[in-house]
Amino acid sequence: MIELRPATPEDLPSITDIYNEAILNTVATFDLETKSVDDMRLWLEKHGADYPVVVCTSEAKVVGYASLNEYSPKKAYAATAEVSVYIDRGSRGKGYGRMLLGAIIEAGAEKGIHSMIARITEGNDISIHLFERFDFTHVGRLREAGTKFGRLLDVDIYQRTLDGPGRKA
């Protein structure tokens, strides 16, 4: 059985494993050092009620998560959030990313988010296809924005705006 639900502290070991695999083996994140469960506990606490984190479970195992992250601490950006989606390596290609992105967009709309931003590293065609499927539009490119695995990498910026007035600052 597949379930989408808000993340809880009990999910943190799985979330940490998923994120650390991405750090070590992909350019999906520009973090270079793995995180501890305590690091991720602080990350989850920082999200609070305003920036949801959703997990997808299959047969009670966390297979992925999506989060809305503060775009900027400046109050004028209060209705803008950055979107992240991570899937367990062995669970990719099964539609979990699509389910999670849909759920986090819905959660963001409920929280009054008006603009969602996704940063996608060059060459990540699967993520580009996923976000375009949900009406994210390519709005720019940061050239040679980060270095990972000995390569300077570009980052494409995708954006989607949601209906409604957005969060009040």
The percentage of residues in the chain with a pLDDT greater than 90, rounded to a whole number, is 93
On the question of pLDDT at 167 being above 50, the answer is: yes
Categorize the per-residue pLDDT at 169 as very low, low, confident or very high, splitting at 50, 70 and 90. Answer: very low
* Each residue's pLDDT tens digit, 60-69: 999 999 999 9
On the question of pLDDT at 164 being above 80, the answer is: no
Q: What are the domain boundaries of the chain?
A: 2-115
pTM score, whole prediction:
0.95
Q: Report how far residue 22's alpha carbon sits from residue 89's, in angstroms, rounded to the nearest whole number.
A: 8
CA 118 to chain centroid, in Å, comes to: 8
On the question of pLDDT at 138 being above 60, the answer is: yes
Closest alpha carbon to 113 in 84, 71, 85 = 71
* 2-115 CATH fold: Aminopeptidase (3.40.630)
Name the average pLDDT for the chain: 95
